Amino acid sequence: MTTDVTNTQNAFQMAIRMAVRAPAMMIGAAVMAIRINPTLSTVFIVVIPILAVCLFLIMSNAHPRFGIMMEKYDALNTSVQENLTGIRVVKAFVREDYEMRKFNDSADQVRKAQLRAEKLVILNSPVMQLCMYGCILAVLWFGGNMVVAGTFQVGKLSSFISYVMQTLTSLMMLSMVIMMFTISMASMRRICEVLDEVPEIGEVSQPVMEVKDGSIEYKDVSFSYSKDPSNLTLQHINLSIKSGETIGIIGGTGSAKSTLVQLIPRLYDITSGQLLVGGVDVREYQEEALRNAVSMVLQKNVLFSGTIRDNLKWGDENASDEEIIEACKAADAYEFIQSFPYGLDTDLGQGGVNVSGGQKQRLCIARALLKKPKILILDDSTSAVDTATDARIRAAFREKLSDTTTLIIAQRITSVQDADKVIVLNDGQIDDFGTPAELMERNQIYREVYQQQQKGARE
């Protein structure tokens, strides 16, 4: 996108004045030339079509080649970006040489593609010059003969030549404008592709603007990422969660835990069934209203470059320092923030590289808390913190978030054992739903996970 926008910008900046001036000059000069000597002006009639056809052939062939060049640019940019963001992995796997070769390859491909396109475009200038000087030669020849015959004055001939030159230079400028537009057209098309993308998730005409409470109800919900009803990731989910409850979700990897909760803020639309939040179908809400009420700490978390305070204010841009500190305390993040020399003003670096995995998770929880949501979803958000910290965070939630419906996806049984109810997911289906004590009693998966983790803890 950056390359594309720069291309378009440059072309526009350079071409916009020429695009207005060149045609005006061309028409003006041509009219003057015709007024001086209409017969001699017929040279235009011969030269201009030849020139136009040549230019058209050059440009129409160059256009797709520039498209290919931009695609090669993409590969180059991807390679650079991946190498920078993944530099630690590249080093850890000693892949520098390989990545270097990959970069050289893609740089070489860009060079070749650009050469192929430019080879055509440079024909522009010789064709132009040939026509221009051919034209002047013809004017001198025929005009000279007229002067010799006494039907044309030398002074008139020299001003005629000036006008011819002016017409043809303007034509040359115009061809440059066309050339620049050809080059940037490939870029513009790609920008438009992004701008014209219609989001799949739309709003109804009169959306509900407020989420009443944090109750959630799944009514026979099925979901498929590919919209293919024969390949369902979630199958016939029926669940009823009251506002304010704390719900644990456990299940093996790939059992669709993340998928289940992503449907609540409508990150994806369900394939069939009905999903109610606060008693209203999620599709009836205004998108912003729904997402403001649902705070989500994702499994793959992202912090942005900027200070800790900037990042936390994503939750609430008007948050005061007191509110920020309170949220940090609840997420058990305040202590380590204070240990940094700049506290909340510590710069996080791109993607939050300056903090540990567990610290990052806690900052993300604090950010989610600042939104003061009706529903809080934690998708494996305490996997990188130790069990004691995990317990402190849960205790703070119980105290401060008693009205908030909290959904906690966890690998550790200890993280869900003081929840009101626990969902056991297995392969996209609900295996069981009940209080931790009930599940201990009757659910095999739950008991197995519990026993394994207990054994692990004892060893």
Ligand X SMILES: Nc1ncnc2c1ncn2[C@@H]1O[C@H](COP(=O)(O)OP(=O)(O)O)[C@@H](O)[C@H]1O
State the nearest-atom distance from the C-beta of 382 to ligand X, in Å.
15
Residues 442/432, Cβ–Cβ less than 8 Å: yes
The region, left, alpha or beta by phi > 0 then psi within -120 to 50, assigned to residue 236 is: left
Partner in contact with 443, chosen from Mg ion, ligand X, none, beta carbon below 5 to 8 Å by kind: none
Which of 258, 295, 405, 406 is close enough to bind Mg ion by CB under 5 A? Answer: 258
Partner in contact with 256, chosen from Mg ion, ligand X, none, beta carbon below 5 to 8 Å by kind: ligand X
State the nearest-atom distance from the C-beta of 446 to ligand X, in Å.
15
State the nearest-atom distance from the C-beta of 257 to ligand X, in Å.
3
Which x/- pattern, by CB under 5 A, does the window 285-314 give for Mg ion? --------------x---------------
Partner in contact with 254, chosen from ligand X, Mg ion, none, beta carbon below 5 to 8 Å by kind: ligand X
Residues 391/408, Cβ–Cβ less than 8 Å: no
| 259 or 389: CB nearest Mg ion | 259
Partner in contact with 225, chosen from ligand X, Mg ion, none, beta carbon below 5 to 8 Å by kind: ligand X
Considering only the stretches 21-29, 232-240, 252-260, 411-419, report the one whose residues sit in contact with Mg ion under the rule CB under 5 A. 252-260
State the nearest-atom distance from the C-beta of 224 to ligand X, in Å.
9
State the nearest-atom distance from the C-beta of 102 to Mg ion, in Å.
31
| 41 or 258: CB nearest Mg ion | 258
Q: At what angle do helices 321-330 and 357-370 cross, to 10 degrees?
A: 130
| 268 or 314: CB nearest ligand X | 268
Half-sphere exposure at residue 345, Cβ-oriented, CA atoms within 13 angstroms: 2
User: Beta partners for 280?
Assistant: 277
246 binds Mg ion (CB under 5 A): no
State the nearest-atom distance from the C-beta of 256 to ligand X, in Å.
4
Token pair of 87, please?
Answer: 């530099």
| 29 or 250: CB nearest ligand X | 250
| 206 or 253: CB nearest ligand X | 253
Strands (E) located in 326-449: 375-379, 405-409, 421-426, 429-434
Q: At what angle do helices 42-85 and 2-36 cross, to 10 degrees?
A: 170
Give, as ranges, the residues between 391 and 450 that touch Mg ion (CB under 5 A): none
State the nearest-atom distance from the C-beta of 340 to Mg ion, in Å.
30
State the nearest-atom distance from the C-beta of 235 to ligand X, in Å.
12
| 379 or 390: CB nearest ligand X | 379
Partner in contact with 381, chosen from ligand X, Mg ion, none, beta carbon below 5 to 8 Å by kind: none
Strands (E) located in 107-233: 216-223
Residues 364/299, Cβ–Cβ less than 8 Å: no
State the nearest-atom distance from the C-beta of 261 to Mg ion, in Å.
9
| Distance in angstroms (rounded) separating the CA atoms of residues 77 and 25 | 42
Residues written for the chain = 459
Binding-site ranges for ligand X (CB under 6 A): 225, 233, 251, 253-259
Of the candidates 331, 321, 339, the one whose C-alpha atom is nearest the C-alpha of residue 367 is 331
Which amino acid makes up residue 235?
Answer: Q
Token pair of 333, please?
Answer: 């993040």
Partner in contact with 224, chosen from Mg ion, ligand X, none, beta carbon below 5 to 8 Å by kind: none
Partner in contact with 141, chosen from Mg ion, ligand X, none, beta carbon below 5 to 8 Å by kind: none
Token pair of 446, please?
Answer: 């739950």
For residue 158, count other CB atoms closer than 10 A to its CB.
10
Partner in contact with 253, chosen from Mg ion, ligand X, none, beta carbon below 5 to 8 Å by kind: ligand X
Long-range contacts of 359-362 (CB under 8 A, 24+ apart): 359/333, 360/301, 360/303, 360/384, 361/297, 361/301, 361/385, 362/331, 362/332, 362/333, 362/336, 362/389, 362/393
Residue 272 is given by DSSP the state: E
| 255 or 301: CB nearest ligand X | 255
| 232 or 344: CB nearest Mg ion | 232
Partner in contact with 37, chosen from Mg ion, ligand X, none, beta carbon below 5 to 8 Å by kind: none
| Contacting positions for Mg ion (CB under 5 A) | 258, 299
